[in-house]
Amino acid sequence: MKTIGIMGAMNEEITPLLEIFGNFDRIELGGNTFYKVEYSEKILIIAYSKIGKVHAAITATTMILHFGVECIIFSGVAGGISSDLKVGDLLLATRLVQHDVDITAFGHAKGFIPEGQLFYDSDVGLCSLACDVASEMGLSIKKGIVASGDQFIASKEVKDSIAHEFKAIAVEMEGAAVACVCYNFKVPFCIFRSISDSADGEASVSFDKFLESSAKTSAQFVSKLVDRI
C-alpha cells in the first residue's frame, strides 16, 4: 500500500481531514501526535506540525524517516498578497521560498542558504493531478510562488516587499520548510492553501473569521486528490 503524508500547521487545519477519513490510530512521537488512517488501499499519516518552519521540518522529517511516507501533501491556509487572490480561493504553490532568510551581507540572494535552494519546486506529477481534480470539482485553482517565514504578515508594507522581492502571491509559515525537507530526501510534495486573509492591515481580524471555512475547502480538495494518487 502507498503511504501518504498529509500535514497542516494547526489543529483546525487537519480536523476536517480526520472527519472525512474517519477511523484512525493515534501515535505519539517527538512531542507530536500522528494519525494513521487506512483508506482505499492506502496508508495516510496525518499530523499538524504546530506553527512555524522548525516544527514543520520536524514533522515532515518524522513522516519520511519513521513512517516511510512516499509523498507529502500540505493542506491549510495562507494569506494572499496578490490582488488576484480573494478569501476562499484555492492556491497551489508551484515554488516555495523562505522570505525571512537574509545573509545578503555575504553576497547571497535574500532567501538563499549555501548548499540549499532559493526556490523549491513542487512535484510536477502531483501538481498535474491537483489541476485535474480541481477541474473535475468545478473549482478554480490559482498557482504561483508562496513565501514562508516565521512571521504572521499583517503589514501592507511587508506584504509589498515580499511580493516585489520574490514575485510571491501568498505568504504562510511552513511550506518552504516542508519543501526543503522533501527536496533533501527526494520525496515528492505539494502545498495547497486556501486563502484565509488578505495579508493587509486587517489580517488578524479576517484570519480568525475565515480559518475554519478555508481549512474545510483545502481538506475537501485534498481528500479528492488522495483518491487519485
User: pTM of the entire structure?
Assistant: 0.91
Mean pLDDT, the chain, rounded, equals: 90
Q: In the chain, how many domains are there?
A: 1
Query: pLDDT class for 205, splitting at 50, 70, 90?
Result: low
The pLDDT value recorded for residue 60 is 98
Q: Percentage of residues in the chain with pLDDT exceeding 70?
A: 95
Instruction: Provide the domain limits for residue 73.
Output: 2-228
The pLDDT value recorded for residue 203 is 54
pLDDT in tens, 151-177: 988 788 888 899 999 999 999 999 999
**Calpha distance 228→222 (Å, rounded):** 10
Catalytic machinery residues:
13, 197
Mean pLDDT of all residues in 186-213: 73
Task: Give the gyration radius of the chain's Cα atoms.
Answer: 16
The pLDDT value recorded for residue 80 is 87
Query: pLDDT class for 206, splitting at 50, 70, 90?
Result: low
Specify the higher pLDDT residue, 85 or 103: 103
Strands 90-98, 120-121: parallel, antiparallel or unpaired by DSSP? antiparallel
CATH of the domain at 204: 3.40.50.1580
